[in-house]
Structure 1
Amino acid sequence: MTKQLPSTKRSLPIALLRAREGVMAPIREMLGETGITEQQWRVLRVLAEHGSMDSTTLADRASLLFPSLTRIATAMRDKGLITQTRDNVDRRRQMIAITQAGQNIIDDHTEHAAGIVAGFQSRLGHENYEQLLDLLAMLDPDAQD
């Protein structure tokens, strides 16, 4: 006997894709005026929050594949949003840091981004919002508390 798949309305992968589009639409709108991509925004957010870090850690924290980060970082460096230097101890490690121009993009859009988050919290309710983040973290094999 063949087991039936759930309806696409109750399919977790499809539901996550639909939810991602709903979450990303207002962020894409906000980024439209910045001249940076969603991926570049994530890189800037991580660097603004955690400071300079090696490219492997940055790729992981920004949810990017390492080869993608390499390409994205080159474009961001060319725009003056980040710096790339070799680690003083391990010359194989590349360190990436946010520049003042990159930090200005974060600073200029913090209020708008916070408003987007507040809208999601309002729509879901604070408790549901936090629970959703906790539940999604349970699906992340690399999630750490």
Structure 2
Amino acid sequence: MPPIREMLAETGITEQQWRVLRVLAEYGSQDTSTLADRACLLFPSLTRIAQTMNKKGLISVCRDETDRRRQIISITGTGQKIIDDNTEQAALIVEGFKETLGKKNYEQLLDLLAMLDPNRDN
């Protein structure tokens, strides 16, 4: 989306990387499967994105202590700073969406998008 791309232009991260950071900032450290679902990414895409983000120092990746096959991803201070530095602008973008759609349509959009979540409560 253009407003988000404009916001992220100076950060050097993509929209997908932004989503990963937002999910980690909101929910904390989590396994890769959960993170992929919450960030609306296919698992193979998340794997590739996480490698790039780890190299940039935005996230850290470690093995789960109880199940060594699972990887746990956490946001780093550098990643959190990107979130913190852009929170106000992101809120303004959301407000712009609400203005464009109207409150009722915006809420309906969120409800419709939630229906696509395979993990949602029915």
TM-score band, normalised by shorter chain: over 0.9
RMSD: 1.2
Give yes or no for contact 1:44–1:98 (8 Å, CA) kept in 2: yes
Structure 1: 4+ residue segments shifted above 2 A: 135-138
Partner of 1:135: 112
Change (3 A) 1:69 1:104: same
2-side partners of 1:143 and 1:129: how far apart? 22
Give yes or no for contact 1:137–1:143 (8 Å, CA) kept in 2: no
Matched, 1:43 2:20: yes
- Specify the code of the residue in structure 2 equivalent to 1:63: C
Q: In the TM superposition, what whole-angstrom CA distance separates every residue of 1:24-59 from its partner, at most 9, and x where no partner exists?
A: 110011111110011100100000000000011111
TM-score under structure 1 length normalisation: 0.79
- Specify the code of the residue in structure 1 equivalent to 2:13: I
Matched, 1:86 2:43: no
TM-score under structure 2 length normalisation: 0.94
Instruction: Return 5+ residue gaps in structure 2 as ranges.
Output: none
Q: Which structure: larger Rg?
A: 1
* Alignment map for 1:90-101 (pairs within 5 Å): 90-101=67-78
2-side partners of 1:141 and 1:110: how far apart? 24
Matched, 1:74 2:51: yes
Partner of 1:11: none
Q: Of the candidates 100, 124, 133, which is equivalent to residue 101 of structure 2?
A: 124
Q: CA deviation at 1:135?
A: 2.5
Partner of 1:31: 8
Instruction: Return 5+ residue gaps in structure 1 as ranges.
Output: 1-23
2-side partners of 1:76 and 1:117: how far apart? 25
- Specify the code of the residue in structure 2 equivalent to 1:142: P
What is the count of residue pairs matched by the alignment? 121
